[in-house]
Structure 1
């Protein structure tokens, strides 16, 4: 019988601001976490991600490479960020040249189980739980649905 190759979760090569709180288990590597950030359990934050000061990332969220999140944001439970749009009909197979960036502004709240494709979201936006953000959001407001659309002003 062949033995599996087992990888351990942990915190490796992370730049932290002051007063960061983390609830294990987490998998954080090669990222930058600003001051006063909270990271809940079962969260993965990948290489080159930047999380701004005062942001809270709740449990079971996945933040992939090429994501930048601003200050004082809330990332709900189970939020998934995507950087590969399968533009060739399937996964990029590790070809980072095919991946796209996501930029989240300041004071953005993303509800539980939302999926965020590679987009830009401006400051002062609320994304409803379970929403799928497929296009840039350039005006503050409350957005929900699949695909997410503006449902009202904040």
Structure 2
């Protein structure tokens, strides 16, 4: 019987702004957190990710490589970002040339358990809990469902 390859949760090679709060356990590596960012427990933020000032990332969120999040955003509990859109009909299996980026604008709130595929989301968007964002969002408003669709304008 062979020995397992055990890796521990860690916070390594992170660029922190002023007054950042991270609640452990959290797995953060190679990312950038701007001023006044909050990261809840059981969050993973991978290398190359940028999180803008005053953004809150709640527990159990997963933010993969190639994601940028703007300022004054809210990432709810259990939100999952995806960078592999299965462009070859299945998983990229480590072939990063198949991955695609996601950009979240400023003043965006993403509800709990939403899934965000590789898209661009403009400023001033609210994404409902459990929504699956499969296409770019170019107009402010409230989006919900699977696939996410605009259901109303913001007041």
Task: Report the TM-score, using the length of structure 2 for normalisation.
Answer: 0.98
| Matches for 1:73-92 after TM superposition, within 5 Å | 73-92=73-92
Alignment match, 2:5 = 5
Aligned equivalents of 1:72, 1:92: Cα separation in 2: 32
Query: Equivalents in 1 of 2:82, 2:88: separation in Å?
Result: 16
Deviation at residue 25 of structure 1 after TM alignment: 0.2
Q: Deviations over 1:58-111 (max 9, x none)?
A: 000000000000000000000000000111121111111110000000000000
Normalised by the length of structure 1, the TM-score is 0.99
> Can you give the 5+ residue segments of structure 2 that lack an aligned partner in the other structure?
none
Q: C-alpha separation between the residues in 1 aligned to 2:9 and 2:111?
A: 25
Distance 2:86 2:105 in 1: 25
Partner of 1:22: 22
Moved over 4 A (4+): none
**C-alpha RMSD over aligned residues:** 0.5
C-alpha separation in 2, matches of 1:124 and 1:86: 29
The Cα shift of 1:17 comes to 0.2
